[in-house]
Amino acid sequence: MKSLTTPFFSASRLLCALTLLTFGAAISALSYWPDQPAARAFSASGTVLAYLFFCSIFIVQSRKKILLETRLIASPDSIYVAYASQTGYAEQLAQQTAVSLREAGMLVQVLPLAQVDALLLQQAKKILFIVSTTGEGDAPDNAAGFVRKLMCQQLALAELRYGILALGDLHYQHYCAFGHRLQHWLHQQQAQKIVDLVEVDNGDQGALRHWQHHLAALSGHAAMQDWSTPGYGDWTLTERRLLNPGSAGAPAFHLALRANESGVTWQAGDIAEIGPANDPHAVQAVLARLQLSGSCEIQADIQADKCIKSLRSHLSTRLLPQDDAACARLQGISAQALADALPALPHREYSIASIPGDGKLELLVRQMQQASGKLGLGSGWLTQYADIKGKIALRIRENRSFHAPADDRALILIGNGTGMAGLRAHLKQREQKGQHRNWLLFGERNAQHDYFFHDEITQWLANGVLQKLDLAFSRDQTQRLYVQHKIAAQADSIKAWVNDGAAIYVCGSAQGMAAAVSSELATILGGGPLEAMAEQGRYRRDVY
């Protein structure tokens, strides 16, 4: 990034040069008319006035340039990354965030929170805040001015979309307090979340990878490289079943995996990080194009796995050249150079649909298709390319923000599509604990094809695990019916459940469903009470 002081240095150099030139011109004028004082005075004065006029233009231009370098034009493609750092770690993460977004083709400006003022907040379209908490829930020193000057004001920020990465330490009572305080203030100013707040406990790499997952979605750059590679375990894919044959939507698969080591556990709400692999045919096509043998041995990145492996095996987990031009640039490269040049594939995240008592880890994965027609990186690997009984690289990430309540309070579970995975795990866990005050509101396309886990849901309703069930199948009637419409129709019941202490859990699509559900709940319960529920852990979301 350019230094914000660069224009001042260039201005100083140019002004010095202009001063010397003007002085020389004035001396020349004095010597040109040695015997005509009036002419000498007029010429010298004109030269000085011209100099001053030029300087005024130059200063205006310089100020405009400085403003452009420090403030991006508020276009939909531009994004600010603002940080509040006590030790420098938040600034480091801000720079890493900016690099990832720039590599995805986005226009990014990084700046400390101290340089964020009311005008910037009102003109910007998107801001990502990366903020740490210090002391007993305080803002870092370099954010004190922002807190004092702005967070006591009421600003019109309805056009601002934001995300927050909150850094903290769970050992402190006020964990990530400044991040939550900032979110509360932004919400009060009507700003809209791009993604839910991500908490990071002592630099937890899993939480940071989750932040990168959001960055990839925000930028539309699915191949965004991980900042750190998860420590995957060895799992075996034991089952794969298409759940929605004949559906108007993309195929959705129920998958089951078993750990190849003992003692692996998780709880409802946790996330499976998958290390995907490439389509074997795509790997072979690259090898053929570059005229390299897949069986030749290469030295893998010593920091990654410290081993000798075949080029074909190595390329299975590397980001392959995506088009003819990329392949052409690699023509003539050696096997080792190719292995060194290609970055590792990024991880993919999926809500876990089972509990350890099931004896297997289950997923609900929809097969995604890229604009090129190729299958999505993670979904293609899990739903088509990986062999049954084949090895899957998987790591479980604890997701405290979507864990069940500590008590047996009632749950309102809301979701759509493959979001049923996270809700199913909670219902299984509630059934195991004998907690039967549960209400499921679920939406999909057609009841005939897209009623995921129909038999289980019917059984839960029959045995009392579910006290209420509301289904929204959008294509089963002329007028589209979505889960938010079911929420609106059940407004009085939702109020009653919430007043009785119920918590609300939402899982599914961030685009469309989650925003519409949040808006409807705010209408029913009030924006302030809904925000208070979130702060109390009674309104939780796992959206993607």
Token representation of residue 428: 């299984």
Rounded to whole angstroms, the Cα distance separating 175 from 530 reads: 21
Q: Assess whether pLDDT exceeds 70 at residue 50.
A: no
| Cβ pair 136, 174 in contact under 8 A | yes
Q: Which two tokens stand for residue 353?
A: 């649909």
Helices 515-525 and 527-535: angle between axes, nearest 10 degrees: 110
Neighbours of 289 (CB within 10 A): 14
Higher model confidence: residue 370 or residue 496? 496
Average pLDDT over residues 23-33: 49
- Cα separation of 446 and 467, whole Å? 23
Q: What are the tokens at 47?
A: 């030269």
- What beta strand segments (E) does 328-474 contain? 348-351, 361-366, 391-397, 411-416, 438-444, 468-473
Mean pLDDT for the chain overall: 87
CA dist 163 and 130 (Å) reads 9
**Model pLDDT, residue 535:** 86
CA distance 282 to 263: 36
- Exposure string over 434-448, b if 16+ CB within 10 A, otherwise e: ebebbbbbbbbbbee
Residue type, 394: L
Report the range of poorest mean pLDDT among 28-37, 117-126, 140-149: 28-37
Residue 43, C-beta contacts closer than 8 angstroms, at least 6 positions apart? 29, 30, 32, 33
> What tens digit of pLDDT does each residue of 86-99 get?
888 999 999 999 99
Phi then psi for 189, rounded to 5 degrees? -90, 10
**Mean pLDDT throughout 442-468?**
97
Mean pLDDT check: name the lowest of 62-66, 241-245, 360-364. 62-66
Q: Output the DSSP codes for 299-354.
A: E--TTTT--EEEHHHHHTTB----SHHHHHHTTT--HHHHHHHSPBPPPEEEE--S
Asked whether 433 and 355 are in contact (CB, 8 A), the reply is no
pLDDT tens, 292-328?
999 999 988 644 556 889 999 999 999 999 888 889 9
Q: Specify the long-range contacts of residues 335-341, CB closer than 8 Å, at least 24 apart.
A: 335/292, 335/293, 335/296, 335/298, 335/311, 336/298, 336/299, 338/290, 338/292, 338/311, 339/298, 339/299, 339/300, 339/311, 339/314, 339/315, 340/301
pLDDT of residue 298: 92
Instruction: Give residue 7's pLDDT band: very low, low, confident or very high (50, 70, 90).
Output: very low
Cα distance between residue 217 and residue 348, in whole Å: 11
Closest to 365 (Cα-Cα) out of 346, 345, 385, 389: 385
Among the residue ranges 36-45, 78-87, 189-198, 516-525, the one predicted with the least confidence is 36-45
Share of the chain above pLDDT 90, in %: 72
CB 166 within 8 A of CB 179: yes
**pLDDT band of 79, cuts 50, 70, 90:** very high
Predicted confidence at residue 157, as pLDDT, reads 96
The percent of residues in the chain predicted with pLDDT above 70, rounded, is: 85
Rounded (10°) angle between helices 177-188 and 527-535: 170
For the cut 70, the answer to whether the pLDDT of residue 40 exceeds it is: no
115, burial (CB in 10 Å: exposed 0-12, middle 13-18, buried 19+)? middle
3-state helix, strand, coil split of the chain in percent (to 5) is: 45, 20, 35
Task: Find the range with the poorest average confidence among 128-142, 234-248, 385-399.
Answer: 128-142
Calculated CA dihedral for residues 197, 201, 207, 212, nearest 10 degrees: 70
* 198 strand-pairing partners: 165
Helix (H) or strand (E) holding 53: helix 37-70
Tell me what the mean pLDDT of segment 2-28 comes to.
45
Among the listed residues 25, 21, 28, 30, the one whose alpha carbon sits nearest the alpha carbon of residue 47: 25
The CA angle 497-498-503, to the nearest 5 degrees, is 105
Q: What is the reported pLDDT for 135?
A: 78
Q: In this structure, what is the dihedral angle of CA atoms 170, 173, 177, 181, given to the nearest 10 degrees?
A: 150
More confident residue, 493 or 173: 493
Burial string for 382-393 (b: 16+ CB within 10 Å, else e) reads: bbebbeeeeebb
Quick: pLDDT tens for 193-208.
999 999 999 999 999 9
Confidence of residue 37 (pLDDT cuts 50, 70, 90): low
**Which pLDDT belongs to residue 306?**
63
What is the mean predicted confidence (pLDDT) over 235-261? 97
Enclosing H/E stretch for 250: none
Structure tokens at 340: 């060194």
What's residue 486's pLDDT?
97
Conformation bin of residue 246: beta by default, left when phi > 0, alpha when psi is -120 to 50:
left
| CA 163 – CA 214 distance, rounded (Å) | 9
Residue 384 corresponds to which tokens in the numbers above? 């088509």
Report d(CA 139, CA 479) in Å as an integer.
49
For residues 349 and 229, the model is more confident at 349
pLDDT tens-digit readout, 93-134: 999 999 999 999 999 999 999 999 999 999 999 999 999 998
Give dist(CA 159, CA 125) in Å, integer: 6
289 or 301: which leads in pLDDT: 289
pTM of the model: 0.81
Pairing of strands 438-444, 468-473: parallel
Name the one residue in this structure whose structure tokens are 């075996």.
236
**According to the model, what pLDDT value does residue 30 have?**
45
H/E run at residue 238: strand 233-242
